[in-house]
């Protein structure tokens, strides 16, 4: 059968990324507490396409991903990327995996346990240059939090508006860390972290603790920044915070990033 994709292309335009997007699959990742965790993933898998090829062979992405989806630790992720690169005969390969990561979390006073869900991504690339292979790997986690507004608290004679927010941290891998460590740094930087299950004594505790600890999105981004610095010497990281403001129908947002000087 004719192989249209392998035909010569005359347009002289290299493509940065060609591949598949939005593949939904079961996934098994590593977990600090239970060794492995079963979850579900949405995967985007790409390679670059040299100037002289008309197209890429999309089925090979699935063949490689299918082999790896039941053991996707961070080291396996980079091995899978290299296997995709070789299988597609490309110089570069990219992948982005987005999955909920679950942790059992006890309520702060009653100690009752329930599961919290955090959206994680693994995003990376491998690039071959002669005999050299350059790898990058970014891990991000999105942590839902509560924020109490410092301005509202300071100017009001009683109460303070507060709301659910989300904080997303992305770190470029270098020093060893657990996803659990990133979540911990974010929850400590918020007015308070969230819980799936709170009994009345817990609700009293989180209400008072959050009220005593008001934070703007700006504060959270800065405090998470300091927390990540404590965690390790990452070559790059970024922090964004978005508040679903309870007084507005739009959100408050703050973002910053760190890049190590080389």
Report 182-201 residues binding a copy of itself (CB under 8 A): 192, 194-201
Establish if 13 lies at the interface with a copy of itself (CB under 8 A).
yes
Binding a copy of itself (rule: CB under 8 A), the pick from 18, 88, 179, 183 is 18
Question: Which of residues 76, 96, 128, 161 is near a copy of itself by CB under 8 A?
Answer: 161
State yes or no: residue 108 binds a copy of itself (CB under 8 A).
Answer: no
Q: Which is nearer to a copy of itself, 176 or 236 (CB)?
A: 236
Cβ proximity to a copy of itself: between 35 and 158 the closer is 158
| Whether the Cβ atoms of residue 96 and residue 123 lie closer than 8 Å to each other | yes
175-184: b (≥16 Cβ within 10 Å) or e: eebebebbbe
CA distance 165 to 72: 29
Decide if 13 contacts 52 (C-beta within 8 A): no
Q: Of these, 92, 140, 144, 227, which contacts a copy of itself (CB under 8 A)? A: 144
| Interactions with a copy of itself, residue window 69-98 (CB under 8 A) | 69
Which listed range, 85-93, 126-134, 170-178, 247-255, lies at the site for a copy of itself (CB under 8 A)? 247-255
What lies within 8 Å, CB to CB, of 82 at 6+ separation is: 93, 126, 133
The answer to whether the Cα torsion of 109, 226, 30, 240 is positive or negative is positive
Shortest distance (Å) from residue 29 CB to a copy of itself? 12
Q: Minimum distance from CB of 227 to a copy of itself (Å)?
A: 12
| Binding of a copy of itself by 40 (CB under 8 A) | yes
List beta partners, residue 151.
none
Segment interacting with a copy of itself (CB under 8 A) among 55-63, 73-81, 85-93, 168-176: 55-63
Question: Residue 255, interface with a copy of itself (CB under 8 A)?
Answer: yes
φ/ψ of 250, rounded to 5, equals -120, 175
In sequence order, the 6+-apart residues with CB closer than 8 A to the CB of 157 are: none
Decide: is 106 part of the binding site for a copy of itself (CB under 8 A): no
The answer to whether 37 touches 29, Cβ cutoff 8 Å, is yes
Count of residues in the chain: 262
Question: Shortest approach of a copy of itself to residue 131 CB, angstroms?
Answer: 27
Query: Is residue 236 a contact partner of residue 259, using CB atoms and an 8 Å limit?
Result: yes
Of the listed pieces 75-83, 109-117, 130-138, 175-183, which binds a copy of itself according to CB under 8 A?
109-117
d(CA 173, CA 239): 15
Q: Does 3 bind a copy of itself (CB under 8 A)?
A: yes
* Residue 150 Cβ vs a copy of itself, minimum distance, rounded to whole Å: 5
Helix intervals (H) in 138-250: 150-155, 179-189, 200-211, 217-231
Specify the stretch interacting with a copy of itself by CB under 8 A; choose among 71-79, 131-139, 141-149, 177-185.
141-149
Tokens of 76: 């396996």
Q: Which of 132, 250, 261, 262 binds a copy of itself (CB under 8 A)?
A: 250
């Amino acid at each position: 059968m004719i192989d249209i994709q392998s035909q010569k292309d005359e347009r002289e335009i290299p493509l940065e990324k060609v591949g598949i997007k939005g593949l939904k699959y079961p996934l098994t990742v590593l977990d600090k507490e239970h060794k492995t965790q079963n979850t579900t993933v949405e995967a985007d898998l790409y390679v670059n396409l040299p100037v002289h090829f008309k197209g890429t062979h999309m089925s090979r992405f699935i063949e490689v991903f299918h082999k790896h989806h039941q053991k996707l630790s961070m080291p396996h992720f980079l091995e899978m990327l290299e296997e995709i690169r070789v299988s597609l005969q490309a110089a570069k390969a990219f992948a982005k995996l987005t999955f909920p990561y679950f942790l059992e979390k006890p309520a702060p006073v009653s100690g009752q346990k329930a599961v919290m869900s955090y959206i994680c991504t693994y995003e990376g690339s491998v690039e071959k240059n002669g005999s050299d292979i350059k790898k990058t790997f970014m891990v991000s986690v999105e942590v839902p939090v509560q924020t109490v507004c410092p301005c509202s608290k300071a100017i009001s004679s009683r109460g303070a508006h507060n709301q659910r927010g989300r904080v997303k941290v992305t770190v470029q891998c270098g020093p060893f860390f657990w996803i659990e460590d990133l979540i911990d740094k974010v929850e400590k930087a918020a007015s308070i972290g969230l819980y799936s299950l709170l009994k009345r004594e817990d609700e009293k505790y989180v209400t008072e603790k959050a009220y005593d600890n008001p934070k703007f999105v700006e504060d959270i981004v800065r405090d998470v920044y300091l927390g990540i610095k404590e965690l390790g010497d990452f070559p790059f990281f970024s922090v964004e915070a978005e508040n679903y403001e309870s007084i507005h129908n739009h959100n408050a947002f703050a973002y910053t990033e760190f890049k190590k000087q080389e």
